[in-house]
Amino acid sequence: MSGVKGKSGVYIRPSQVCSVEDCSKEHYAKSLCRKHYDRQYRFNHKEHILIYNRQWQKNSSNKNNSNKKYHNEYNKQWRENNPEYSKQYRQDNKEYLAERQKQWRQTFSGKASNKAGVYNRRAMTKDLTIEIIQRVYEDNIKKYGTLTCYLCFNPIEFGNDSLEHSIPLTREGSNDYKNLGVAHKICNCRKGTMTLGEWFEKYPKNFQSPTQSVSPADEIYGVIKKA
């Protein structure tokens, strides 16, 4: 019997086989198998495919950006409605999250992100002097008697302190003395990009120090709360 023996053991007639030399694959269209037909189509329609791909990428990008905004807003709302879940998850998976963060820092994206952060931080703090920092720390100790977090009003142990911006640099805050305070590292991280006013709105239980009738936030903004 003439022809080529296919995978199933059944002989395929010559008319059903790709016409390309040394190719015995099954005929798909125009005497070619699927592989050679697609190759020839791409070669003959280069410009059309290029225009189509550009348009598809543009549409896909707009769609992804729209979905990204939706998912970010949805996740943000979910976290606000379920604060205990995220807190409990971090506590139950400390080692796993730390290892994953460590691995990410070794990747190209992680290293690039770290370099970008260091560069941006240096650029934003170039006008921050040692004299200003020293003054902030000294005035904090004079005010509270010991180094105290101005976010939660609890004493700060040595090595657990950090310089904090009332209005973050990323939100057009400055390195002026009036915009600086001392906070726990964990409080600083938790505050993130919130302003001091937004922080006390989110954590009202920390708004007023137990030993003071006027909160530090009121002093900073020059506002005295009415009883």
Residue 19 falls within a domain, yes or no?
A: yes
Give the end-to-end CA distance of the chain in Å, rounded to a whole number: 103
Q: Above 90 in pLDDT, residue 13?
A: no
Residues 117 and 136 in one domain: no
Q: What is the DSSP letter of 120?
A: H
Residues 88 and 35 in one domain: no
Give the per-residue pLDDT at 182: 93
Residues 120 and 140 in one domain: no
Residue 50 falls within a domain, yes or no?
A: no
- Domain extent for 29: 4-44
Spatial separation of the C-alpha atoms in residues 196 and 104, rounded to whole Å: 31
Give the per-residue pLDDT at 20: 87
Residues 28 and 104 in one domain: no
Residue 51 falls within a domain, yes or no?
A: no
Contacts of 174 (CB under 8 A, 6+ apart): 167
pLDDT top residue among 211 and 141: 141
Give the residues across from 12 on adjacent strands.
4
Give the per-residue pLDDT at 146: 93
Q: Above 60 in pLDDT, residue 154?
A: yes
Contacts of 85 (CB under 8 A, 6+ apart): none
pTM check: above 0.85: no
Residues 149 and 187 in one domain: yes
